[in-house]
Amino acid sequence: MTSRGTTMAEALNTALRHALRDDPAVHVMGEDVGTLGGVFRITDGLAAEFGDARCADTPLAESGILGTAVGMAMYGLRPVVEMQFDAFAYPAFEQLVSHVAKMRNRTRGRLPLPLTIRVPYGGGIGGVEHHSDSSEGYYLHTPGLHVVTPATVGDAYGLLRRAIASDDPVVFLEPKRRYWTKEDWSPDGPAAPVPPIGRAVLRRPGTDAVLITYGPSLPVCLEAADAAREEGLDVGVLDLRSLVPFDDETVCAAVRATGRAVVVHEASGFGGAGAEIAARVGERCFHHLEAPVRRVTGLDVPYPAPLLERHHLPGVDRVLDAVRDLQWPSATRARHGGEPYAVGA
Amino acid sequence: MTSRGTTMAEALNTALRHALRDDPAVHVMGEDVGTLGGVFRITDGLAAEFGDARCADTPLAESGILGTAVGMAMYGLRPVVEMQFDAFAYPAFEQLVSHVAKMRNRTRGRLPLPLTIRVPYGGGIGGVEHHSDSSEGYYLHTPGLHVVTPATVGDAYGLLRRAIASDDPVVFLEPKRRYWTKEDWSPDGPAAPVPPIGRAVLRRPGTDAVLITYGPSLPVCLEAADAAREEGLDVGVLDLRSLVPFDDETVCAAVRATGRAVVVHEASGFGGAGAEIAARVGERCFHHLEAPVRRVTGLDVPYPAPLLERHHLPGVDRVLDAVRDLQWPSATRARHGGEPYAVGA
Amino acid sequence: MTLQQTTERAAAEPRTPGRDPAPLLPDRRPARVLGTPAADAVDPALLRELHRHLVVGRRFNEQATALTRQGRLAVYPSSRGQEACQVAAALALRPRDWLFPTYRDTLAVVARGVDPVETLTLLRGDWHTGYDPVEHRVAPLCTPLATHLPHAVGLAHAARLSGDDLVALALTGDGGTSEGDFHEALTFAGVTRAPVVFLVQNNGYAISVPLAKQTAAPTLAHKGVGYGVPGVQVDGNDVVAVHGVLSAAVERARSGGGPTLVEALTYRLDAHTNADDAARYRSDDEVERWRAEDPVTRLETHLRAAGLLDEETGRQALAAAETMAADLRRRVAEEPAVDPMELFAHVYATPTAQLGEQRARLAAELRAEAGSR
Amino acid sequence: MTLQQTTERAAAEPRTPGRDPAPLLPDRRPARVLGTPAADAVDPALLRELHRHLVVGRRFNEQATALTRQGRLAVYPSSRGQEACQVAAALALRPRDWLFPTYRDTLAVVARGVDPVETLTLLRGDWHTGYDPVEHRVAPLCTPLATHLPHAVGLAHAARLSGDDLVALALTGDGGTSEGDFHEALTFAGVTRAPVVFLVQNNGYAISVPLAKQTAAPTLAHKGVGYGVPGVQVDGNDVVAVHGVLSAAVERARSGGGPTLVEALTYRLDAHTNADDAARYRSDDEVERWRAEDPVTRLETHLRAAGLLDEETGRQALAAAETMAADLRRRVAEEPAVDPMELFAHVYATPTAQLGEQRARLAAELRAEAGSR
Ligand SMILES: Cc1ncc(C[n+]2csc(CCOP(=O)(O)OP(=O)(O)O)c2C)c(N)n1
Ligand SMILES: Cc1ncc(C[n+]2csc(CCOP(=O)(O)OP(=O)(O)O)c2C)c(N)n1
Ligand SMILES: [Mg+2]
Ligand SMILES: [Mg+2]
């Protein structure tokens, strides 16, 4: 992170700009996305450049926004919908589950919906209630949706381009507290192109254990891995990038190589993405596991007020504690022992 | 199952009648619950007996129904809301997640919501699309809600009474394909009282493995256990009865006693209740497990049309296959070997 | 102080000068043609076409209901009594227009030219949508109430943005107008002025719930003004009036005049579906009163009086109806072909690896099943 | 055939004879009192009370905004310019009535008597709702738009069923009227005739989106007719008019007259919140035009002309405002007390075993943290 460089917000903006430029079917729509450029400025300048039909302010009605986008996609356009905040996508839940996810299936493939639904999600920004939900657990349990979430600036650009180009509906979860993180990335740079949706990436190799994470928790995990190194543990970090499709291959390879895994995410643990990940790893890597898969997640409470959110979110210490608890042979065994159990699970 | 006896529909009707009789704060409301008695007749006769204010037909607007019920609960009533079918509760998702689940918490306990939301759920009744969803995965991942589902006639009565008496909001999931199953039960009978919400029950003991299930899949599991017995395996069946609160104690005891577990439910596997159950069991019973926890669930597809639903739903054969796959010592090892993986996961 | 006093006002200019609401409000009485002098001016060819569709449509409803009794259809939400709305909706559209039906609008879909058997796929149980929506420009029969209304707005809006002059006609029941999606669809339609027409078939009930428990609005057509969308009420059992009102609204939309909300007053003579027991919530008397307003009879009465229904025309219509019904009986009697592997075919453009595993597993199960037979 | 022809109708009787829509439609101009002869008839005591609340309210808005600049409040959605609506809403209610505010309505909550610091808890970040909703009969400040409107209907309906003559007053913005929950709340209110009043503060924008992109309705008050709910428009910067219209509506509701939808035309002089950049979507000119309609000034002009605002009264109002502001500054400057253990206290009546485990874990973390300090 340098003070020069590109923010995730800028990369997303660029991705939208390029998508609008390259394909006349692409239409951006949502609350305040036009004149204002979105409350996070992700659509800044797009209405001015492409006109307010291609980047349209809509009435304040999320079900109507998504439902209208469904109709536009039925006509052959590629709508990119912005939901202003995670919790404000809930009014559109019926449209999402009963239509967006099912339209291709209901019509035997005759009405695919090339729709992208951008949702700024997660906490850590000191937002008032309903502004910090991690809602990926609802979406990933809904067959027919792809669920994608970038953790880096380059992925933000690459995955959003992939999402918009996809013929499947994609719920594109943007870790809002990473919007202003700068990285040394430019759209014209020589960065490796982002692979198709559905591939995880090992952000850091490690021989002793692997942290499995995505979106806003990636930096936490990288920091925890650094700290673990100081304790003599070589911990890898895997960034899932997409929850659906799920990259069993990469995940299982990482787990089998180390025999120890911790899953980290902000959402409440109970019934969250971490449950699926831990369950799959348990099913597929059972004989390779040296310790139970641990989950470090948000608590099973409604998202707390700003002054309390640090106690809710998985921080470096909690991740580190979980790593220490992975039933190491006594030489490396850390101070916290006992029956394994997970925070937030 | 005898041709005499009581159906689950009748038991639920009786529970509502007794609740209305015992507590003037109880108000039943929903689409067609009055004059018609509900499309499943669960509210049959209640409007006639208690008046159409206590059992009220509402306008056709689920968010409005639940939102109005929230206001009624704020005033001090105990609304019991009927959602006509699983998928028709989705329009109320925002009310459920952003208000029902959070009101007590937001207000530091000053505004508890004693609300029961009855949702007929699940498939197997040959329903057209949107009439057979298993939506428990969405609810159990939402802190602040209790999620309860009866599998027997006696539990239907007892748990619904408990739900209505609870000061917490309860999503009460009724396995609709069990509505007309008769059992030898009567409200005046000597049956053991149903314990508080949050306790699982071992429906059938077994020393070799345990099937963990709930709601509509209980009979499937009992049948599978019978069939397993013929293959020489003594398989127990655990009925969770409530997903939130989750009865770790009973579940872990059952798993530790046998070392082998299969989780069975109708909902799609990916990110479903079974993921949480398998993950918890993996975390808490790691050293007791002889084989990975297997999941037998609905496929990861939108709920299919009637003529295909039997291929989607977990049937006896699939459960039995999973039991056979639990890495038995070679003497009892069944024909299907290889890398364990789950149908629908 | 009272409200009275406050309504005195001097130089107060409204700060958001609104449009004139008057043209948005429905007339005091529903539009009618049959039984009025206007009926004589209607093109006889149109009347005969409407008549043939009504006769065939009535037969379709009866045949489909009969098929439920024989267990050939799982369920059928009959539109008997509402045929005028169904037929008029289909015939008011041009080929490039789109129709957005509900579960009750199978007849409108058939009248638009979709194969009846494909139309009934949902209710027969072999798949969800049986016909090709793009080929026929008919959206899937929609079950979650009012959720298809924003789709119609979006499609119409997209077409307009693309310079395509098609119109979308979206159908809903009276109950459906209470859903939030009705409101949001009308709001978007009003703001975008998308070329979309909403037809509310007000049959007086949402399953068992009568209109008076559904809304306190003077009429459903009055809902339009809240969205800047003109509301029109029409006698829904007068096929000529419904066709006229819808055609006018469709052509107005096509020429850039914006959306219209049409409320048709009608009645379903059958129960909600064959699974429903209508006697629980409505009287025989009421049904009888509405039987007297039968849309088929009403058109026939006019045609006879106008000398437009000779024996041959009547015979031909009945023959077309019988041919359709016989074809339906025969084809629906055949076991529908389903392929379990199709379960995985349309979830995504490319099945995920997980679905591939599940598919392989099911294939193995089916092989085992076949082997043990 | 054209629509024209079909509107000729002979004996056609409407099949669902609706109510008369006329009384439900708003007048052509918003209700005003200030600057009209009616102003002279208003009780001077009421005028002075309204004035004092406006002055204190304005100061509250300014102070809260200043506190965001000092980092004492995370965010503040100011109602500067909308004080007439805020104050009138609070004063139109009796103690047993309920108020249902949004995030923008902190001032209405304060004017109702809730401690300003408790009112600001949400925006200060120590918890969500800071005051006791039951004690004050004020629902939590609601952020998800329009979702609290059905709550107001339900509470009012429940009270009426219980023979309790309280009234619920629910506030929303213009943008909020597009949400499905607005529609559903109004539908339920119309059908149940619950004693509820809806006040739409139409400040012309939903964040950056102007009303013309929000709806094509002639006015927002016209939305009432679609629900059988009378719609009234009022000059929202005329505190006497808003108070009069709301009081009348509240008392009508109390006496069984059913719900009312009130649209107040107003303007927020500040940005959406301190985090917003209003210059992106509106001109200084526009803001200036509305500054000239400042609700505080408008009442003061009247009071002066009527000889009701002597120096002493003015001084007292300012002093009350300063006292409130000083108290606010002082108390908000203190570090708010938060207890991490409270995270687990209010999720359920009795914490689940899982929450117990998580609680123990956090307690251990906090002990470790304290130990390492
Ligand atoms: C969102 C939703 N809620 C509930 C239902 C269940 N349901 C099916 S039809 C119906 C009544 C619809 O009434 P109306 O809109 O008047 O249409 P009609 O059946 O009279 O044609 C109901 C409640 C549904 N399909 N969708
Ligand atoms: C359901 C929902 N969607 C989106 C938002 C984000 N949001 C907060 S305020 C606002 C604009 C509201 O405008 P209006 O109703 O006119 O009230 P005002 O802010 O002008 O008082 C938006 C879009 C929200 N709070 N809730
Ligand atoms: Mg109807
Ligand atoms: Mg506004």
ipTM: 0.96
Question: Phi-psi category of C256—alpha, beta or left, where left has phi over 0 and alpha has psi -120 to 50?
Answer: left
**Would you say residue B338 has pLDDT above 70?**
no
- Which residue type occupies D147? T
Q: Is D85 in the pocket of ligand 2 (CB under 6 A)?
A: no
pLDDT range class, residue C175, cuts 50, 70, 90:
very high
> 């719930």: which residue's tokens?
C209
According to DSSP, the residues that pair with B235 across neighbouring strands are: B209
Interfacial D residues in 60-119 facing C (CB < 8 Å)? none
Domain boundaries, chain D: 22-337, 341-371
Percent of chain A with pLDDT over 90: 91
**How close, in Å, is residue D108 to chain A by CA atoms?**
19
Give me the amino acid identity at B16. Answer: L
Q: Do D3 and C232 touch (CB under 8 A)?
A: yes
Question: What's the pLDDT at D372?
Answer: 82
| C-alpha of residue C15 to centroid of ligand 4, in Å | 14
Please report which helix (H) or strand (E) contains residue C196, including its range. Answer: strand C196-202
Q: What is the CATH number of domain D22-337?
A: 3.40.50.970
pLDDT of residue C372: 82
Buried b (16+ CB within 10 A) or exposed e, B215-228: bbbbbbbbebbebb
Q: How far are the Cα atoms of A335, C40, C79 from residue A338, in angstroms, in the given order?
A: 10, 91, 67
Q: Is the CB of C236 under 6 A from ligand 1?
A: no
For D260-293, how does the pLDDT look when each residue is reduced to its tens digit (9 = 90+)?
999 999 999 999 999 999 999 999 999 999 999 9
Q: What share of chain C is helix, strand, coil (3-state, %, to 5)?
A: 50, 10, 40
The chain D residue lying nearest B56, using CA atoms, is D192
**Bridge-partner residues for A49, per DSSP?**
none
pLDDT at position C9 is 32
Residue A2: band (very low, low, confident or very high) from pLDDT cuts 50, 70, 90:
very low
pTM equals: 0.96
Whether cis (ω within 30° of 0) applies to the bond prior to B245 is yes
Cβ neighbours of C127 in B, within 8 Å? 305, 308
Bridge partners (DSSP) listed for residue A298? A268
Distances (CA, A) of D193 to B207, B263, C144, C225, D252: 61, 49, 27, 21, 11
pLDDT per residue over D41-66, tens digit each? 999 999 999 999 999 999 999 999 99
Q: pLDDT band for position B341 (50/70/90)?
A: very low
The first and second tokens of residue B230, run together, are 């013929």
The rounded percent of chain C whose pLDDT value lies above 70 is 95
Residues of C with Cβ-Cβ distance to B302 under 8 angstroms = 347
Contact (Cβ atoms closer than 8 angstroms) between residue C201 and residue C266: yes
Annotated catalytic residue D268: yes
Instruction: Please give the pLDDT value at position A332.
Output: 47
* Residue D52 Cα, gap to closest chain C Cα (Å): 19
Q: What is the mean pLDDT of residues C96-124?
A: 98
C356 touches chain B (CB under 8 A): no
Question: Residue C232 forms beta bridges with which residues?
Answer: C262
B2 burial (CB, 10 Å; 0-12 / 13-18 / 19+) is: exposed
Model pLDDT for residues B3-42, shown as the tens digit of each residue? 579 999 999 999 999 999 999 999 999 999 999 999 999 9
**Is a pLDDT exceeding 70 seen at residue D112?**
yes
- pLDDT at site C19: 78
> How far is Cα D344 from Cα B104, in angstroms, rounded to an integer?
11
Query: Do residues C341 and C359 lie in contact, with contact meaning Cβ atoms separated by under 8 Å?
Result: yes
Smallest CA-to-CA distance from A139 within A125, A151, A149 is with A149
Provide CATH 3.40.50.920 ranges for chain A: 201-334
CA–CA distance, A183 with D228 (Å, rounded to integer): 57
Chains that touch B (3 or more CB pairs under 8 A): A, C, D
Ligand 2 and D206: CB distance under 6 A: yes
| A107-158 per-position pLDDT tens digit | 999 999 999 999 999 999 999 999 999 999 999 999 999 999 999 999 999 9
Q: What is the DSSP string of B69-86?
A: HHHHHHHT-EEEEE-SSG
Ligand 3 centre from C174 Cα, in Å? 5
The structure tokens listed for A280 are 């799959």
The answer to whether B117 and D139 are in contact (CB under 8 A) is no
Nearest to B72 by CA among D164, A88, D89: D164
Q: Which residues surround ligand 4, an ion (CB under 5 A)?
A: D 173-174, 203, 206
Whether residue B343 has pLDDT greater than 80: no
User: CA A152, CA D332: separation in Å to the nearest integer?
Assistant: 38
Is the distance from CB of D124 to CB of D74 less than 8 angstroms?
A: yes
Rounded to the nearest angstrom, the gap between the alpha carbon of residue A261 and the centroid of all alpha carbons in its chain is 19
Q: Mean pLDDT over all residues of chain A?
A: 94
Q: Where are the alpha helices (DSSP H) in chain A?
A: 8-22, 46-50, 62-75, 93-94, 103-106, 136-140, 153-165, 218-230, 248-258, 273-284, 309-312, 316-324
Q: Is D17 on the interface with C (CB under 8 A)?
A: no
Per-residue exposure over D12-41, b if at least 16 CB sit within 10 Å of its own CB, e if not: beebbebeebeebbbeeebbbbbbbebbee
Q: Specify the CATH number for A201-334; select among 3.90.230.10, 3.50.50.60, 3.40.50.920, 3.40.50.300.
A: 3.40.50.920
Mean pLDDT of chain C: 94
pLDDT of residue C13: 43
Q: Which residues contact A165 (CB under 8 A, 6 or more apart)?
A: A19, A23
Q: Please enumerate in sequence order all residues whose Cβ is within 8 A of that of D247, keeping only pairs 6 or more positions apart, or say none.
A: C1, D92
Least confident of A7-21, B182-196, C200-214, C232-246: B182-196
Report the residue from C144, C149, C342 with minimal CB separation from A98.
Answer: C144
Instruction: Assign B64 to helix, strand or coil.
Output: helix
Atom of ligand 2 nearest to the CA of D104: 21
B6-183 CATH, one of 3.40.980.10, 3.40.50.970, 3.20.20.80, 3.40.50.10680: 3.40.50.970
**Parallel/antiparallel/unpaired status of strands A55-57 and A26-30:** parallel
Question: What pLDDT does residue A191 have?
Answer: 67
Per-residue model confidence (pLDDT) at position A3? 52
